[in-house]
Amino acid sequence: MIRDGLYIGLMSGTSMDGVDAALVRFRRGRPKLLQGLVHPWPEALVGRLRALSGGSTTLTELGELDHLCGLAFAEAAQRLLQEAGVEPGTVTAIGSHGQTLRHQPRPPTPFTLQIGDPNLIAQLTGITTVADFRRRDMAAGGQGAPLVPRFHQVLFAHEKRNRVILNIGGIANVTVLPAGQGVVAAFDTGPGNCLMDGWSRLQRNLPFDEDGTWAATGQVAQPLLERLLQDPFYDTPPPRSTGTEHFSPAYLEERLEACPGLAPEDVQATLLALTAQTIAGAIRRWAPATEEVLVCGGGRHNRPLMDALADALPATGVKGTESEGVDPDWMEAMAFAWLAAATLAGEPGNLPAATGARHEVVLGAIHPA
């Protein structure tokens, strides 16, 4: 049983827009967010990390980046505690997701790689740190993702409503929660913000399209959208997962070559339409009884994207998780606090229905304070 107390969750997703740090109190297994903050990546570090998307590196650089990311995660936890006025000794554990550099779950040699040395985090904060959550699920035959669905079940399972929990980070993923049941499926739908963010950086030198305002000035380029929708990933049945090593800037550039002369804002509008259509298509195909879609992640703040989802799912209520009392910006960080608590309690953190693992397993490696 999960031990009551204070926990910290640290999360940096494929968008690499900062380390999300959440201070969470658990009472009788139920979480309450006490404080959250986004700790910015050092500009030079995030530049090096993004340069590795779809590329290669040396062992020396990999070791350096692992160290530097560990420092950044530790600094995020320390700053969170300082702002919350909480002493490190009162925190039971930190759950650190790490920064994903590669996620290649398919045979013959499936693997996933998250960096951000948890030894440094434990040493610098003085708090027991749990990390490396994904690889144990992969060892049991799973894809190592998504790992948040069991937490979604704790928060959002409903006796009478068929729900989907939609997280729109760099990659978008869904958790399918039929009324009165546990999770029956959870999987990545494809790009969330990653292609839009990459295009915004390239064309405007801005990390993302705030509130989707730039995309709203463009028109969908149908030939480009049709070309993007031809990716075979969208027809792959769950369980499935993907990452920015597939949906990368180079991936977009290759498809733009067949559609020359498009205005940059039209490309952005098309990428937004791609995200909305692939999410809606996946829900219609693999969760057709859905009555409510509860949205979290950075994409929750993209109003044109939310509108496009509502238009694509007219018979389904689409709203943010704040409607259920959970801040959409801190969902994943809170989930890794919960995963740390589950690991320390010896409870499984994966859901085979979500990852495809042969059985449930206790996730993560524990680095004592």
Identical topology for domains 5-145+329-367 and 149-324: yes
Query: Could you confirm whether domain 149-324 is CATH 3.30.420.40?
Result: yes
Whole-number Å distance between alpha carbons of 86 and 76:
14
Q: Is a pLDDT exceeding 70 seen at residue 228? A: yes
Reference 112, options 21, 243, 13; nearest CA is: 243
Which letter, b or e, does each residue of 321-350 get, where b requires 16 or more Cβ atoms within 10 Å of its Cβ? beebebbbbbbbbbbbbbbbbbbbeebbbb
Structure confidence at residue 341 (pLDDT):
97
pLDDT at 29: 83
- Find, among 268, 264, 258, the residue nearest to 223 by Cα: 258
Helix (H) or strand (E) holding 181: none
Query: What pLDDT sits at residue 280?
Result: 98
Q: Evaluate if residue 55 carries a pLDDT over 80.
A: no
pLDDT reported for residue 334: 97
Q: Which fold has domain 5-145+329-367?
A: Nucleotidyltransferase; domain 5 (3.30.420)
Q: Per-residue pLDDT tens for 273-292?
A: 999 999 999 999 999 999 99
Instruction: Tell me the per-residue pLDDT of 74-121, one tens digit each, with 9 for 90 and over.
Output: 999 999 999 999 999 999 999 999 999 988 888 899 999 999 999 999
What average pLDDT does range 318-334 have in this prediction? Answer: 95
Q: Is 8 within 8 Å of 80 (Cβ atoms)?
A: yes
Q: Please state the pTM of the whole predicted model.
A: 0.88
Residue 300 has pLDDT above 80, yes or no: yes
pLDDT at 54: 64
Asked if the peptide bond before residue 314 counts as cis, ω within 30 degrees of 0, the response is no
Q: Is the pLDDT of residue 34 over 90?
A: yes
The rounded percent of the chain whose pLDDT value lies above 70 is: 99
Of 7-16, 158-167, 336-345, give the lowest mean pLDDT range. 7-16
Task: Compute the mean pLDDT over every residue in the chain, rounded to the nearest whole number.
Answer: 95
Spans of all domains in the chain: 5-145+329-367, 149-324
* Mean pLDDT computed over 123-134: 98
